[in-house]
Amino acid sequence: MKAVRIPKPMEIVLEEVEKPVISSPNEVLVKIKRVGICGSDMHIYHGTNPLATYPRVVGHEVAGEVVSVGEAVTNLKPGDHVVVEPIRYCGKCYACRKGRPNVCEELSVFGVHEDGGMREFVVLPAKQLHTVDPSLDWDEIVLAEPYTIGAQATWRGDVQEEDTVFIQGCGPIGICILKMAKIAGATVIMSDLKAERLAFAKDNGADFVINAGNQSIEEKITEFTNGEGANVVIDAVCLPSTFELSTKVTSVAGTVVVLGFDERPSQISQLPITKKELTIVGSRLQTNQFKKVVSLLNENKLKENGLVTHKFALSDVQKAFTFVEENPDIVRKALIVFD
């Protein structure tokens, strides 16, 4: 079978590898149908993902069809359409005991720490697979994993009905956060530097948008919230400056949610944190969000609505990565399509 491997930064190969086989009674063989190219995949390709190891088969946004199951698997059967939950965890460390396996001390992420889904077949434990309605298009369900990132961010921010949420960044993750915040019943403000991205955010439910290149975000947040500030600020841009801005525009008793891995320090004053008694939290991967997202997909409450902009055949994977790299302004989500 064919697999996409990144042996080292800035090198990508499509190679023939041995087809995996079930070796445990709890495992499942899956034929891959779609894989999304994520920003973290591009970071692995560029050599800028601090958590990845090489060589690596990338791909953690994965949808496929069950081919066969181990003898102990009772919840899946051949022909089922599934999406992949891309994390393995120990179940014993402090994070796991607290119900947050996404930050397990021994966390292993499919496509980052271990070979991922950009290959024709994979074998995974049944617990990492979630069945979806087979009538749904593969292009829709492959977005389940990015939607869980949005679900995690809104969960970490404790987004409630009638909250005002400010999302910095209208890229794919920002849009996924937007969709989950609107489902929660929040009013959503979004910012970006690109007019096209702001327009797409409006098309997908954003109540207000701010062009960060020619408008004052602080003034606009004050205007849109009648001086209260945003109750939850979610930073999907992840620069030191956007983190610094977050504490300034958050309301009293508000929450700042940070998604970034930037190691550069930010200069954050203690005063607004204490005076407003802010909560500042990180958000990484997802904690038990797949069941919720799959239900929303099955109920047609989550639709990609233009989020997928480009599709490439497996044989054109180098072209796909190059295109995503060179056209960040027009690519929202690119997919690799398997036969």
The DSSP code sequence of 232-299 is: EEEESS--HHHHHHHHHHEEEEEEEEE-----S-----HHHHHHTT-EEEE--S-SS-HHHHHHHHHT
Cα–Cα distance measured from residue 239 to residue 261, given in angstroms and rounded to the nearest whole number: 9
Could you give the count of Cα atoms lying within 13 Å of 224 in the half-sphere of its Cβ?
26
What per-residue confidence (pLDDT) applies to 50?
81
Cα–Cα distance measured from residue 261 to residue 238, given in angstroms and rounded to the nearest whole number: 7
Mean pLDDT throughout 248-271? 95
283 phi, psi to nearest 5 deg: -140, 120
Among residues 184, 191, 149, the alpha carbon closest in space to that of 166 is found at: 191
Using one digit for the tens of pLDDT, what is the confidence trace for 309-326? 999 999 999 999 999 999
CATH topology of domain 2-143+304-337: Quinone Oxidoreductase; Chain A, domain 1 (3.90.180)
Using one digit for the tens of pLDDT, what is the confidence trace for 238-254? 999 999 999 999 999 99
Cα–Cα distance measured from residue 73 to residue 22, given in angstroms and rounded to the nearest whole number: 12
* H-run or E-run covering 83: strand 81-84
Q: In CATH, what class is 149-282?
A: alpha beta
Predicted confidence band at 52 (pLDDT cuts at 50, 70, 90)? confident
C-alpha distances (whole Å) from 292 to each of 127, 155, 174, 333 are 15, 12, 19, 22
Domain spans of the chain? 2-143+304-337, 149-282
Work out the percent of the chain whose per-residue pLDDT is above 90: 96
C-alpha distances (whole Å) from 179 to each of 70, 97, 186 are 36, 30, 10
